[in-house]
Structure 1
Amino acid sequence: MDHLTILYRGPLASCDYDCPYCPFAKRRDTSEQLRADRAALERFTAWVAAREHPVSVLFTPWGEGLVRSWYRRALVELSHLPHVERVAIQTNLSHRVSWTSDADPSRLALWATYHPGQVPYERFLGKCRDLHARGVRFSVGIVGQLEHLDAARRLRADLPADAYLWVNAAEGRRYDDAEADAWTAIDPLFPVSRNPHPSRGRACRTGDTVVSVDGDGTVRRCHFVPTVLGNLYDGTFRDALGPRPCPLATCDCHIGYVHLEPLRLYDAFAGGVLERIPALLGGRARPA
């Protein structure tokens, strides 16, 4: 096995935000559920630590992970392992960022999302500037809701020039050309997010060099295809790995379609696929 990218999503489902447009984080975890999530994450971290082949990990929790000490600890520990090429997490950046000083900045990365109305603007911007000063790799994003447009423009103007600001198309939203142009002026790669991508029968790296793993170690090709390939901890997933076309009609989430080979997004995001940082040109993303 040359290199394996793992998207890990444990049972954590609680969040300190309640964004109305977010399909995640609609549960308040009990103490028992949090203990189960911690145990699952520690088991996964131990499995990664014991590998000999190169591994990259993106944590994609249903809830907010960085407010939990065990996620911060896992990111720090994994960042120091020589066979871990990248360890990243999706986060709302609500927690302090000083913990990142304990990690290896050459391997750690954060995929941060700004949620207007959930956090004061200056507080979120301050976290981004702090990360930049610490030399931590990070991208910043926002959901392309019409009411977020002015905030996105302000954020693009205030972020460091070499910090990528991505825009996710709002779920179920269809953008006319004028609307799409407004978002593309902020994120040159917005056209990639604008519409779902036809995917059935197309080559995809998921199930081959990229897999999804849940808290029990169940391995699937990605978060969106329920077919089980095996289990991480008993090794049964290994024989199921291999090139296979996508079975779904469309793919509309970045963590899925970035792996669709015909889109060539591994070129657009060279060196930053997991943390959604594209190759940069003059501080701005290259056009699609």
Structure 2
Amino acid sequence: MPTAPGPAEDLYVLYRGPLASCNYDCPYCPFAKRVDPPDLLRADRADLERFLGWVEATTDRRLSVLFTPWGEGLTRSWYRDAVVRLSHLPHVGRVAIQTNLATRTGWLADAKPQVAALWATYHPGQVTRDRFVGRCRELDGLGVRYSVGVVGLPEHHAEAVALRAALPPHVYLWVNAADGHTYTAEEERRWTALDPRFGDSVRPHPSLGRPCHAGETAISVLGDGTVRRCHFIPDPIGNLYDGSWRAALRPRPCTNDRCDCHIGYVHLKPLRLREVYAAGLLERIPAAWPSP
């Protein structure tokens, strides 16, 4: 599969606009079957266009962009266009988006496969396994990098096992620990058999006072340009569009007691997970996958 090196000086930008609608109704998600009004969709599109302009103009350092919408972005044409557009910029090392993979994939033929990538989640009960795996095969045919994951609910385990068997060996299958679920040793063993990195997710990471890349070489950006250290520390550190984000970048210890979401703890320096994922950081693919 294609890859691209991720130098240490990359600025990792996690972008989240106001979009919060989703075509699925997963019982564990607060945004299930939410419908955004037309004015919010227009605002989301305008915010994204402004962000793309900033990425195109910020050529003095290499950028890697991950779209982390509350809802499903790829059902909206402007997110598909954004992935394609950013993938062709010479100073963008990676552009990825979190998605349920419900939408068509042919648009990715216009993207640069060495740069564009998907972080896909399989939701049993919302889509058949055959249909989801079919989408994955389309991605393989397009040469696009992607990971696939599931939420580690007990009732999802059998489907996750079947999904792993149906996917090609080169596809990394990750498992997110379910919110509010305490795992027995046997449950943890079973999920780890599917995802060797499940241990990273199953217990929250103590983070208070610990050094983190967030706010130094990784930032969270809202639709209006507000820059935060990460999605989980709401205090702003600057704004993308007035240039104040540049002076705000510096090493900082975490101010939260714990970090229990992958897009947060992957940047905690003591965990050294950037070394684990390397060029696959944004699309959640370990550098050593498939295992030797």
TM (normalized to structure 1)? 0.96
What is the aligned partner in structure 2 of residue 113 from structure 1?
121
Task: Tell me the equivalent position of 2:14.
Answer: 7
1:19 corresponding residue in structure 2: 26
Deviations 1:8-35 (A, max 9, x none): 0000000000111123456310111101
C-alpha deviations, 1:159-187, integer Å up to 9, x for none?
01000000000012110100000000000
Aligned-partner Cα distance in 2 for 1:76–1:39: 17
Instruction: Give deviations 1:51-71, integer Å, cap 9, x for gaps.
Output: 112111000000100000000
Alpha-carbon distance in structure 2 between the residues aligned to 1:10 and 1:214: 5
Task: Please tell me whether the aligned partners of residues 24 and 33 of structure 2 are also in contact (alpha carbons under 8 angstroms).
Answer: no
Please point out which of 79, 83, 86 is paired with 2:94.
86
Shift of 1:129: 1.1
Q: Which amino acid aligns with 1:253?
A: C
Contact 2:12 2:63 in 1 (8 A): yes
Counterpart Cα distance in 1 of 2:31 and 2:228: 20
The CA distance in 2 between the partners of 1:233 and 1:180, in whole Å, is 44
- Say which of 252, 262, 286 aligns to 2:260: 252
- State how far apart, in whole Å, the 1-side matches of 2:176 and 2:50 are: 32
* Structure 1 residue 133: Cα displacement: 1.8
Aligned twin of 2:56? 49
CA distance in 2, matches of 1:63, 1:207: 25
SS at 1:43 equivalent: helix
- SS of the residue aligned with 1:116? coil
Q: Distance in 1 between matches of 2:286 and 2:10?
A: 20
Q: Match of 1:160, SS? A: coil
CA contact under 8 A between 1:13 and 1:26: conserved in structure 2? no
The amino acid of 1:3's aligned partner reads: D
Moved more, 1-10 or 258-267: 1-10
CA contact (8 A) 1:13 1:25 kept: no
| Runs of 4+ displaced beyond 3 Å | 23-27
Amino acid at match of 1:23: P
Structure 1 portions without partners, runs of 5+: none
**1:229-240 alignment runs, 5 A limit:** 229-240=237-248
Q: Does residue 37 in structure 1 map to residue 37 in structure 2?
A: no
Q: Could you tell me how far apart the structure 2 residues matched to 1:181 and 1:76 are?
A: 39
- What is the total number of aligned residue pairs between the two structures? 284
1:168 and 2:176 equivalent?
Answer: yes
Q: Quick check: 1:87–1:109 contact (8 Å CA) kept in 2?
A: yes
The structure 1 residue matched to 2:165, chosen from 142, 148, 157, is 157
SS in 2 for 1:70: helix
CA drift at 1:279: 1.7
Q: Which residue of 2 aligns with 1:262?
A: 270
